[in-house]
Chain A
Amino acid sequence: MAATLFNQNKHLKTVNMFRNSFKLFGNQIRNLSTQTRQALEQAVKEDPVVLFMKGTPNQPMCGFSLRSIQVLSLENVATDKLATYNVLSNEELRDGIKEFSDWPTIPQLYINGEFVGGCDILMSLHKSGELHKMLKEINALAPTKPEGDVAN
């Protein structure tokens, strides 16, 4: 179910975006390049909910990324509010996001341009109901659920 919930176009877009910046700067750049930083800044602000993960929603390549996708699916995040980026598709993205967020691991969740945390934090916010509140506040939840009764 989670699989069909999310659109895939964003992946292609980002891959291209990062390929371009990679081409420009080549391999000499050790620290986060301005180009990459700008691309990341844009990426986290462009969509209300942004997940950097290993693999894609249809095919997560790591248990932690899988769990994060499942949580977002359980929360019923609206398709058009979520963008996911596959860090395995690009080395510069993979290293860049760690430095950008000052967070050493993947997945990483952003809500409204703000870094929220990794898988552990995502799970605990889900359990406590805080994640639901945060998503609701920014109108990132799908409007209706067939069951009707979404917990408040």
Chain B
Amino acid sequence: MVNAQQLELLIQSKLQPTHVEIQDLSGGCGQNFVVVIVSPLFEGKTTLARHRFVNHELEEIVKQVHAFTQKCYTPAQWESMKNN
């Protein structure tokens, strides 16, 4: 079973995020997460490449959950989204 805190720790340790948001939509069963990750590591990567990268880095958790929805932004994208 996975919880949001474990997931956040893993993201913090692997993806150098400047911002992380985690929603646990599973109602506690640890099976359905929606995450927003802002990291300079996404710079110059397509959406597919970003998702692949995240899937690999977080493999130990992604394998265990039923649903994992990710939104990956670079710090610049995140700033411009906030301002709109």
A→B interface (CB under 8 Å): 64, 102-105, 115-121, 124
Interface of A is mostly: mixed
For residue B63, which residue of chain A has the nearest CB? A104
- 16 further contact pairs, Cβ within 8 A, besides A103-B55, A105-B62, A117-B51: A104-B55, A104-B59, A104-B62, A104-B63, A104-B68, A105-B68, A115-B48, A116-B48, A117-B47, A118-B51, A119-B69, A120-B51, A120-B69, A120-B70, A120-B71, A121-B51
Known A-B contacts A117-B47, A124-B47; the reply to A64 vs B67 at CB < 8 A is yes
Q: How large is the interface on B (under 10, 10 to 19, 20 to 34, 35 or more residues)?
A: 10 to 19
B→A interface (CB under 8 Å): 47-48, 51-52, 55, 59, 62-63, 67-71
Q: B69 to A117, Cβ gap below 8 A?
A: no
Known A-B contacts A104-B59, A105-B62; the reply to A117 vs B67 at CB < 8 A is no
Complex interface: chain A residues within 8 A of B63 (CB): 104
Q: B59 to A117, Cβ gap below 8 A?
A: no
Give the complex CA separation of A116 and B49 in angstroms. Answer: 10
Give the complex CA separation of A103 and B70 in angstroms. Answer: 13
Return A6 CB to nearest CB of chain B, in Å. Answer: 23
Complex interface: chain B residues within 8 A of A102 (CB): 52
Give the complex CA separation of A130 and B71 in angstroms. Answer: 18
Complex interface: chain A residues within 8 A of B67 (CB): 64, 105
Of the A-B pairs whose beta carbons lie under 8 Å apart in the complex, a sample of 26, sorted by A's number, is A64-B67, A103-B52, A103-B55, A104-B55, A104-B59, A104-B62, A104-B63, A104-B68, A105-B62, A105-B67, A105-B68, A115-B48, A116-B48, A117-B47, A117-B48, A117-B51, A118-B51, A119-B69, A120-B51, A120-B69, A120-B70, A120-B71, A121-B47, A121-B48, A121-B51, A124-B47
